[in-house]
């Protein structure tokens, strides 16, 4: 069945460093992938989405490229800020249902 894998549960970085959060997926359909971000005690919000192979999509300094050849949609940022500390979810759309990965908690330290 459809699934999403996020390999890092916790990532801790110093402000100003680059970050990459991994996301791989499995689906029998043409993939639609999302990144949602959830700050502490808040609701999740959409960060990025894509269904186009090999096209970089960007928002708020974050970027990701869907690679169908490797079934990946990794999230990156060149320089993390303290405000980026949050829980990040990768998700896969399967028509009526959105499958979320287990999430990666990013903590940015001064």
Partner 1 sequence: AQTIHQWPVAEIKAVGSPLSLGCTIKGKSSPNLYWYWQATGGTLQQLFYSITVGQVESVVQLNLSASRPKDDQFILSTEKLLLSHSGFYLCAWSPDWGRENTLYFGAGTRLSVL
Binding interface with partner 1 (CB under 8 A): 32, 36, 42-46, 49, 51, 87, 89, 91, 93, 95-103, 105
**Minimum CB distance to partner 1 smaller for 1 or for 110:** 1
Distance CA 76, CA 47 (A): 12
CB of 26 or CB of 78, closer to partner 1: 26
- Given its phi and psi angles, is residue 105 left (phi above 0), alpha (psi -120 to 50 degrees) or beta? beta
Whole-angstrom Cα distance, residue 50 to residue 60? 15
Minimum Å gap between C-beta 51 and partner 1 is 6
In the bound state with partner 1, the residue whose beta carbon lies nearer, of 13 and 98, is: 98
User: Do you know the residue count of the chain?
Assistant: 110
Task: Give least dist CB 23 to partner 1, A.
Answer: 13
Q: Among candidates 70, 64, 30, 68, which has minimal Cα distance to 49? A: 64
The least distance separating partner 1 from the CB of residue 11, rounded to whole angstroms, comes to: 14
């Amino acid at each position: 069945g459809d699934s999403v894998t996020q390999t890092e549960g916790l990532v801790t970085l110093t402000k100003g460093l680059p970050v990459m959060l991994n996301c791989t997926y499995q689906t029998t359909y043409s993939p639609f992938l999302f990144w949602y971000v959830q700050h502490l005690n808040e609701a999740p919000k959409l960060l990025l989405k894509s269904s186009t192979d090999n096209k970089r999509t960007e928002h708020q300094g974050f970027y990701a490229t869907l690679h169908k050849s490797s079934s990946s949609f990794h999230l990156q940022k060149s320089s993390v800020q303290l405000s980026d500390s949050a829980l990040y979810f990768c998700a896969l759309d399967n028509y009526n249902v959105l499958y979320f990965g287990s999430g990666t908690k990013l903590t940015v330290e001064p």
